[in-house]
Structure 1
Amino acid sequence: MDDLAKEPENAGRRLEPMPEDWTRALAVVAHPDDLEYGCAAAVAAWTDAGREVAYVLATRGEAGIDGIGPDQCGPLREREQRASAAAVGVSTVDFLDHRDGVIEYGTGLRRDIAAAIRRHRPELVITLNFRDTWGGTVWNTPDHVAVGRATLDAAGDAGNRWIFPELTAQGLEPWDGVRWVAVAGSDRPSHAVDAAPGLERAVASLLEHRAYIEGLTDQDPEEYARAFVTSAASAAAPRFDGRPAVAFELFPR
């Protein structure tokens, strides 16, 4: 059944706390800024607790600002993403160099993400909404859908030495240690992280994407970043004991 046509089965249920018995996470998304639109407060909380989080971006976001050509936009957005990650304690940011706006789901994308999972060896993998819509009302982009779906698949691919044997030949041994894939921005979340401790750093993290924000809206960038982050965290609060939260749909493996 189309995701526009049915109510999520867990709609309205209390969000459970995210698992905490892990040490390494890998976040895999399509573009610079994808993680900052609502997920960075959770990352800040995790790095504060001494957990290791790395980012992998499928593109450099080179098609993301109408007034700046791709050759200039890609390096600019890469710099913004690295500064944004640093604001929440993340020092490792890798780019896969797929073309922004035309990412294709398939074995090539799965292989690249499986390679990243083998390289970083996370227990928790994080990605973004892979469904056709945001909450059944706003159409999602093909890049988000492709990367989200490929990440869910690659979490299994990474542990199977026979799917992409060329990775083993390159020195990337199989990694079957992914225990969960957490999807941010889902309309059917099951778990959450308290956003309050990392909220200010999440605002600062989104604000590092200043050139992107300035190309997106005439609103003051700091006002825009604060309003978006606090609104997203507040939306999850009624299902998390009244606390602002970052919500995830959690797929155990």
Structure 2
Amino acid sequence: MNLLDFPEDWKSALVVVAHPDDVEYPGAAPIGRWTAQGKKVVYLVASRGEAGLDGMSPEECAPLRVDEQIAAAAEVGVSTVEFLDYPDGMIEYGLGLRRDIAQSIRRHQPELVVIGNHREISGNGMLNMADHRAVGQAGIDAVRDAANRWVFRDLTETPWSGVRYVALLGSPSATHAVETGEWFDAGVRSLLAHRTYLEHLGTTPEDVEAMLRKFSMDVAARFDGRPGVAFEML
């Protein structure tokens, strides 16, 4: 199935993911496009990625990964990155997670919410992580929660029913895409900002560029030859 053009008639977005680097595999290029258009984009990251490096203790890893995520966001024009402090690798779907995401939606009042894929399979065909599934499903549910004043009545933020679009990043069932040729290099720089993380994985800058290039050209095959990043619109 050919991919449709992602709608861009909106002004603000909230991106909800489980870990530092989830946006950058491979979602940073469209973020760069959108911020260049003057759109406001905020990242909400459920954990600090402290369990992401086998050779580094969580106490040492967490602040490093936070700093690298903030640097990665800056490469594509995002200045606001919030962290929820859920335990990396052990995030559970539940009311607390829904509440925290709903609170962020009410506070930032986005028209678009981009959420990490909640399905069992990732866009690359591999099994999806439990954290991704939990945060993805909670994010989807939190869009409705944020609009209902009788849900999470302890929150002081005004209910927000202005979300017009919900999109999944890294879904195996993509329906839309964003053309990112002009912003490809910004997407590469954004992922490369996770320098220590990539070094521990043994991933070189050449590896990063080749991987993101393949992702974008896979999209091009279904997007009239235009390289891009794909999303599933809900």
* Fold conserved between structures, TM > 0.5: yes
**Aligned partners of 2:125 and 2:172 also within 8 Å:** no
The aligned residue for residue 65 of structure 1 is 53
Q: Structure 1 residues 38 and 137 mapped into 2: Cα distance closer, same or farther (>3 Å)?
A: closer
The aligned residue for residue 56 of structure 1 is 44
The aligned residue for residue 244 of structure 1 is 227
**Equivalent residue pairs, number:** 234
**Aligned partners of 1:37 and 1:228 also within 8 Å:** no
Matches of 1:138 and 1:56 in 2, distance apart? 24
32, 49, 74: which one aligns with 2:62: 74
132, 141, 159: which one aligns with 1:144: 132
Task: For residue 246 of structure 1, report the CA deviation from its aligned partner.
Answer: 0.6
Give aligned-pair identity as a percent. Answer: 53
Matches of 2:45 and 2:210 in 1, distance apart? 25
Gaps of 5+ in 1: 1-12
Matches of 1:15 and 1:230 in 2, distance apart? 18
- Work out whether 1:193 is the aligned partner of 2:142: no
* AA at the equivalent of 1:191: H
Q: Structure 1 residues 135 and 50 mapped into 2: Cα distance closer, same or farther (>3 Å)?
A: closer
- Structure 1-normalised TM-score? 0.90
- Superposed, 1:202-217 pairs within 5 Å as 202-217=187-202
Matches of 2:123 and 2:38 in 1, distance apart? 33
Aligned partner of residue 139 in structure 1, secondary structure = coil
The aligned residue for residue 87 of structure 2 is 99
Task: For residue 68 of structure 1, report the CA deviation from its aligned partner.
Answer: 0.8
Aligned partner of residue 85 in structure 2, secondary structure = coil
- Structure 2-normalised TM-score? 0.98
Matches of 1:157 and 1:31 in 2, distance apart? 22
Task: For residue 134 of structure 1, report the CA deviation from its aligned partner.
Answer: 2.0
The aligned residue for residue 167 of structure 2 is 182
**Aligned partners of 2:45 and 2:81 also within 8 Å:** yes
* AA at the equivalent of 2:159: P
Aligned partner of residue 165 in structure 1, secondary structure = coil
- Work out whether 1:229 is the aligned partner of 2:212: yes
- Superposed, 1:105-184 pairs within 5 Å as 105-135=93-123, 137-167=125-155, 171-184=156-169
Matches of 2:218 and 2:59 in 1, distance apart? 37
